[in-house]
């Protein structure tokens, strides 16, 4: 079994487009919420999950592209158990595709370099390459292809609220284009080791305003969580719709979670930062 971790954007700055994609500058953290992937040898390629997307599934596209580029004649039967909410801004689809590519490189004995795999991943989507770095925190820039591991000096704790609506990245960025000038504030130089206080000072998601203005569910989740997370920092992750409370310690996180977990019909999660490592591929 392969574990595909969720990610959070602790800050997300958006700049002008490079072709199809916007340029971004983002600090990404991996967390201990996982999709579970089973991969079995097969003559052909098949991908199954509760989504039933068939050949439009990002994992299917990634596996087919890997097979085409590598010239491998083997197949794979990929089965995905979803734990990461769909359309939540937590990178579930990208993580599934990237971790499947990493595992198939081993199962098919392709022995491709990390850079080669990352280039194949980028052809599938701008979020995929970051799942090839073994780190807790990553600075991501360009359209997602420029990645720099950053040292996280202490564990971060999170309450995550998924308000039950799916927000596509395409919609979020188009709303951003309509509602902003494209200008964004810059982030000061980050220290070599980052802690809660450092991140708390720079938390900002340029997509949060545009998405909250179009989605009442996201706006309400931000307001409710902000009222409960008095000792934390609240922000939207990625293109939404998940809203996050970030805390310095587990006790404060747990207190907030207990106060918000039964709010409405939202799905609420407790999570902590983790290091993405090869151990996820050995299960």
Catalytic residues: 7, 127
How is residue 240 written in tokens? 């939404």
Q: How far is CA 267 from CA 160, 162, 254, 274, in A?
A: 8, 5, 15, 21
Cα 29 from Cα 254, distance rounded (Å) = 19
CA–CA gap between residue 195 and residue 183 (Å, rounded): 27
DSSP 126-148: TTGGGGGS-SSEEEEEETTTEEE
Distant-in-sequence, close-in-space partners of 52: CB < 8 Å, separation ≥ 6: none
Taking the CA atoms of 277, 121, 114 and 141 in sequence, report the sign of the dihedral they define.
negative
Asked if residue 90 lies in contact with residue 269, where contact means CB atoms within 8 angstroms, the answer is: no
């Amino acid at each position: 079994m392969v574990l595909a971790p969720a990610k959070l954007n602790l800050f997300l700055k958006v700049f002008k487009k490079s072709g199809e994609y916007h340029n971004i500058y983002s600090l990404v953290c991996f967390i201990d919420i996982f999709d579970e992937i089973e991969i079995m040898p097969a003559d052909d390629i098949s991908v199954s999950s509760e989504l039933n997307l068939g050949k439009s599934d990002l994992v299917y596209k990634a596996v087919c592209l890997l097979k085409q580029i590598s010239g491998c004649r083997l197949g794979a039967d990929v089965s995905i158990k979803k734990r990461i909410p769909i359309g939540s801004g937590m990178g579930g689809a990208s993580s599934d595709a990237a971790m499947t590519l990493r595992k198939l490189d081993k199962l098919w004995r392709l022995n491709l370099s990390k850079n080669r795999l990352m280039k194949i991943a980028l052809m599938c989507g701008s979020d995929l390459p970051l799942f090839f770095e073994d780190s807790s925190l990553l600075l991501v820039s360009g359209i997602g292809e420029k990645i720099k591991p950053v040292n996280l000096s202490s564990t971060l704790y999170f309450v995550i609220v998924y308000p039950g609506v799916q927000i596509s990245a395409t919609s979020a960025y188009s709303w951003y284009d309509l509602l902003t000038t494209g200008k964004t504030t810059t982030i000061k130089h980050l220290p070599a080791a980052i802690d809660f206080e450092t991140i708390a000072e720079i938390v900002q998601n340029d997509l949060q305003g545009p998405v909250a203005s179009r989605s009442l569910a996201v706006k309400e989740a931000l307001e409710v969580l902000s009222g409960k997370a008095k000792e934390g920092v609240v922000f939207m992750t990625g293109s939404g719709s998940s809203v996050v409370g970030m805390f310095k310690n587990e006790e404060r996180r747990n207190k907030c979670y207990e106060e918000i977990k039964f709010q409405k019909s939202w799905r609420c999660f407790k999570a902590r930062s983790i290091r993405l490592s090869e151990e996820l591929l050995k299960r």
